[in-house]
Every structure is written in structure tokens, then in C-alpha cells.
Structure 1
Amino acid sequence: MSLLRIAGRPLLASMFVAGGLQSLRRPEDLAPVAEPIVRPVTDRVPVLPDRTEQLVRLNGAVHVVGGLMLGLGRCPRLAALALAATLVPTTLAAHRYWDAEDPSERAQQRIHFLKNLSMMGGLLIAADDTGSAPSLLWRGRHAAQDLRHDAHPVRRSVRATARPAATAAGVRAKLSACAGR
């Protein structure tokens, strides 16, 4: 594993662990901000909890677990994907700069919104990172190429032996036909 991965994953994960712990400890602080996003989501997805505090806590748990997994390098691609998925509603709920009236507040929210977009970009890169090991798709393609490559000499060998065998069978058939008369 490269030094950049060893250092980069925990750095990327640290924000999620810290924010997730805050959401787990005090969901009531974030519930009013999350409410405009939670209601439409819970109406469409019935398996989610109804109370906003519970959803904030659930989101925080995903952030903590996903952040720890990413930081420790345990299933980092899956963890990065889960974090990226939970970052969308978090960003839309907490950093609605387009609704801010005060210009300085709008500027701050825009900075946080763009910061979250940047983090999402890093998470998507981490989700695609195979850690210098070939992906399953690459391995499958190359296994198929290897099979085609290995099959080529077999095909030539079969063709080379099939012609004389067919000729011998034809001669035998003619001899049998002649002997039977």
C-alpha cells in the first residue's frame, strides 16, 4: 500500500468521524436543520425512522462507522461509497447557501457546500481506488484474453489433426463400400 493511501484515507475520514460523533451525541442540535430534507425522504422511503433525531443519529452512525473503516483501510471502497451517499442529504440540509439572506452567511454556506462537494469527489476517487490491485472487471477481461490466447494453439492442433482423420475416414468408407460389393 502506498504512503499516500496510508496517510490520505485517515485524513479524509477524520471529518466524518468527528461530525458523526457529534450527530450521535446531540442529534437535537442538527434536527432543525435536517428537517426540510428528512420529511420528503421519509415519505418516499418507508423503512427509515419517522423522527428526524433518529435519522440524524443514523446518519451519524454511518459517518462514524464508514469513517473508521475508510481510515483503517477495511473495505475502504464500500466505506467511501457509503460516506459519499450520506454526504448528499447532509450537504443539502446543512449548507443551503441559496436560502441565506445575509451575504456573509451566504458566502460561508457556499464555502461549506463546495467543501462538501470536494470531499464527495475525494470519496468517489477512494471508492474507485483498487489499491494497486486490478479490479474484478480488469481481471475478468484479462482472464478471457488469456483463455482466447491459450485456445488458439488448441484450435490449430484440432484443425491439423481433423483433416487427416477425415481423409482416413473417407478412405475407409470407400474401402468398406468396395469390399462389400
Structure 2
Amino acid sequence: MNNLTRAAARLLTGSTYALLGYDAWRTPGVRVDLAAPTLAAIRRHLPIPHEDERLVRGNAAVQTIAGTALALGILPRPAAMALIGSLIPTTVAGHAFWASTDPVAKKMQTVQFVKNMAMIGGLIFAAADRG
């Protein structure tokens, strides 16, 4: 893969996380409510803080910073790894299709879950890239 292709891929991928992460940090809103059941389940096994909004904003900050770094080609492999680590809890907490009883909501959450899995796959490529 040539350097121009790498730069374009990093810019397109990273900028998505930078923009969406910034929006989530600025206005966490419903994301806090979506994350609450998953965070409560995690707390039964791990000592994480009880401030759900702070956790959501922290995750959003990781996405903003790592997304910007990836987009600019600054430490792209660690940035991609940070995004993977951030996207896993986002996907589980935000798109828990298995917990939905409404067929329309379940379908929408399934699509978002699968989309996020594809995004994680792209980040794995970025993390593995040696160029």
C-alpha cells in the first residue's frame, strides 16, 4: 500500500472517530442511559467509578484524541489500538441488540453492532500496518 493510500485511509477513518467522539464528549445525553446497564454489570466484577456520564465522556475523549492522532498520522498504530479499546465497550453498551424486545429497535441495534464490528476490523488493519 502506498503512502498516499495510507494517509487517505487514516484521515477518513480517524476523522470519523474524532468528530463522533467530540460530539459524545460535548453532549453525552442518551449515551449515558444506554451505557448504564452495561456499566452496572461490569461493576459487579470490576471496581469502576459510579459516575456513568464521566465514563462516557472519558471514552469519548479517547475517541476524539486517538481519532485525531490517527487522522493526522501521529502514532497511528497506538491510536488505532486505543480506538479498538474504546469501541468495544461502546459497541457492547450502546448496541446491545440481544437485550431488545422491540423487533424494529432490535434490527437497528443489530445493524449498528455489526457496523461497529466492521469498524473494529478496519482498525485492526490500521494497527497492523507497518507503513
**Same-fold status (TM-score > 0.5):** yes
Aligned residue in 2 for 1:3 = 4
CA distance in 2, matches of 1:40, 1:102: 22
**1:17 is aligned to 2:18:** yes
User: What number of residue pairs does the alignment pair up?
Assistant: 130
Identity of aligned pairs, percent? 39
Tell me the TM-score normalised to structure 1 length: 0.67
Aligned residue in 2 for 1:39 = 40
Residues 52-87 of structure 1 deviation map (CA, whole Å, 9 limit, x = unaligned): 000001000000000000000000000000100111
Aligned residue in 2 for 1:166 = none
Bigger radius of gyration: 1
Aligned residue in 1 for 2:94 = 94
Aligned residue in 1 for 2:28 = 27
Structure 1 stretches of 5 or more lacking a match?
Answer: 132-181
CA distance in 1, matches of 2:16, 2:114: 15
Residues 104-124 of structure 1 deviation map (CA, whole Å, 9 limit, x = unaligned): 222111111010000000101
CA distance in 1, matches of 2:107, 2:30: 22
CA distance in 1, matches of 2:92, 2:24: 16
Q: Displacement, 1:50?
A: 2.3
CA distance in 2, matches of 1:8, 1:73: 10
Matches within 5 A, 1:133-152: none
Q: Displacement, 1:2?
A: 1.6
Q: Displacement, 1:12?
A: 1.0
